[in-house]
Amino acid sequence: MADSFEPKIVAFLCNWCAYTGADLAGTSRIQYPPNVRIIRLMCSGSVDSTYVLKPLLDGADGVLIGGCHPGDCHYQSGNYKARRRVVALKEILKSAGYDEDRVWLRWISASEGQLFAQTVTEMTNAIKEKGPNPMRQKWAV
């Protein structure tokens, strides 16, 4: 069972940088494991804490948030707001006894297809090591 564990990762990517970076990974045919489901948002700053919590409660094995590099945000400072929120959220997860390292925030620019692929690969491997989200057992999907 553990060997065949395929993590399910939800990725919230901003329209301008991270989503476009993921596109570039594709157009450049850079390969990464098929464990990520990309959801496009306008800005990483709009990632509400519930967007992260709900998938985790529902059994996602990890949540990736991708935004523009600091200083590069299409909306000037949305990515800083995301960073602030994710830091706070991770603290809350930790205090609730939940493994906060299932939530990743990464800066990926439109030209960093390689970085996107690498990030997904690393995250998939890291989560494989952690094993399934404990919340998920109650689903038994």
Q: Which of 1, 2, 27, 97 binds another protein (CB under 8 A)?
A: 27
| Cβ neighbours around 22 below 10 Å, total | 25
Short-list 33, 3, 46, 17, CA closest to 122: 33
Q: Tokens 């967007």 label which residue?
A: 51
**Given strand 103-107, what is the order of strands in its sheet?**
36-41, 9-14, 62-67, 103-107
| C-beta of 70 vs 94, nearer to another protein | 70
Shortest Cβ 27–another protein spacing (Å): 4
Q: Which of 7, 66, 78, 132 binds another protein (CB under 8 A)?
A: 78
Chain contacts with another protein (rule: CB under 8 A):
6, 8, 10, 15-17, 19-20, 22-43, 45-51, 54-55, 58-60, 68-69, 71-78, 81-82, 85, 109-114, 117, 139, 141
